Amino acid sequence: MKLVGLIKAICVHPSVREIMGPLQIRTFQHDFVPRDPKAKPKKYKYPQFYDPYGPRPPPSGKIVELAERIAALPPEERRQIGPTLTERLRHPKMQTIADEGMELGSQGRVGTGAVAAKVEEKKEKTAFDVKLEKFDAAAKIKVIKEVRAFTNLGLKEAKDLVEKAPVILKQGVTKEEANDIMDKIKAAGGVAVME
């Protein structure tokens, strides 16, 4: 309403326009300078390879002389330079990476999946899951207390977990720990199994 009144006052009374000056209007003004259509694009010289450390100083005279002497050696002696320097400078040996158990797909060796399956069959299982199968309705509170004891859950979370039976209570435990949990749940009135 005030704006409409102001506009009417400006239109009706030209003297007000002279007093206030022009209304401030912001229009879109671009911040870039328009490109000259006749200008040619700049050509940059790119290095052959990217060096993140920047240009390096030229090697010293000793290094150049050493490189020339190495280049003059026969191939048998050149092959001995790497192991000798590794031993002399006490560099740690590079360990080979075993690819057993990894699925390399079409890039890897044929049959690695079968070898990995055989290796897994030979290994004994060390991590077990404890699953609550069922529980007596009368012993529900005792089972909830036992579940809270070894899962560190709150009362509501433990109650919800027990009511979802059959459900996994704990994963990746040792055989002894799993047997201990199963015994406690059995004493409370529930049935738990180890998977």
Q: Which tens digit of pLDDT belongs to each residue from 133-181?
A: 888 888 888 888 888 888 888 888 888 888 887 888 888 888 888 889 8
Give, as one character, the DSSP assignment of residue 140. H
> Residues 6 or more apart from 167 whose CB is under 8 A from it?
131, 132, 161
| Domain 128-194 in CATH 3.40.50.20 | no
Location of each CATH 3.30.1390.10 domain in the chain:
128-194
C-alpha span between 133 and 5 (Å, rounded):
79
Angstrom CA distances, 71 to 34, 58, 170, stand at 57, 19, 64
The answer to whether the predicted template modeling score (pTM) of the entire model surpasses 0.85 is: no
Over the stretch 52-93, which tens digit does the pLDDT of each residue have? 777 778 889 999 999 999 999 999 999 998 888 888 887 777
Q: What does residue 173 show for φ and ψ, rounded to 5 degrees?
A: -105, 160
* pLDDT tens-digit readout, 18-48: 555 555 555 555 566 667 778 887 787 777 7
Phi/psi of residue 9, each to 5°?
-65, -40
What average pLDDT is seen over the chain?
77
Q: Of all helices (H) and strands (E), which one includes residue 15?
A: helix 14-20
Tokens of residue 102, six digits: 């990894």
